[in-house]
Amino acid sequence: MVDRIQKQWEDNAEAFADLIAGTGTPHHESILNPCVEELLGDVKGKSLLDAGCGEGYLARYYTKKGADVTAIDLSPSLIETSKMITDSESLEVDYRVGDVCHIESVPNETFDIVLSNLVLLNIPDLVVALKEYNRVLKTGGHLVFSIVHPAFNFYGPGAWEMGEKDPDTNRREGLFFKVDNYFDEEEFERYWRTRKGEKFPAPISFFHRTLATYLNSLVTTGFNLVDFREPRPLDDNPFFDRERRIPFFAVFKTEKK
136/256 Cα distance (integer angstroms): 10
- Ramachandran category for residue 50: left, alpha or beta (phi over 0 → left; psi -120 to 50 → alpha): beta
Higher pLDDT, 215 or 170: 215
**Residues 6 or more apart in contact with residue 200 via CB below 8 angstroms:** 12, 15, 16, 191, 192, 193, 194
**Residues 6 or more apart in contact with residue 87 via CB below 8 angstroms:** none
- Indicate if the pLDDT at residue 2 is higher than 90: no
3-state secondary structure of 143: strand
3-state secondary structure of 146: strand
Quote the radius of gyration of the chain (alpha carbons, Å): 18
92/94 Cα distance (integer angstroms): 7
Look up residue 164 and give its amino acid.
E
Give, in words, the CATH class of 2-149+212-256.
alpha beta
Q: State the DSSP H helix or E strand holding residue 87, giving kind and residue range, or none if neither.
A: helix 76-88
> Domain locations in the chain?
2-149+212-256
189/205 Cα distance (integer angstroms): 5
Give the neighbor-by-neighbor strand order of the sheet with 94-97: 94-97, 68-73, 47-51, 111-117, 137-148, 249-256, 223-229
116/127 Cα distance (integer angstroms): 14
Residue range 128-168, pLDDT digits in tens: 999 999 999 999 999 999 999 999 999 999 999 999 999 98
Q: 81, 54 in Cβ contact below 8 A?
A: no
The model carries a pTM of 0.96
Residue range 9-31, pLDDT digits in tens: 999 999 999 999 999 999 999 99
Question: What is residue 1's predicted lDDT score, i.e. its pLDDT?
Answer: 77
Residue range 198-253, pLDDT digits in tens: 999 999 999 999 999 999 999 999 999 999 999 999 999 999 999 999 999 999 99
Residue range 60-79, pLDDT digits in tens: 999 999 999 999 999 999 99
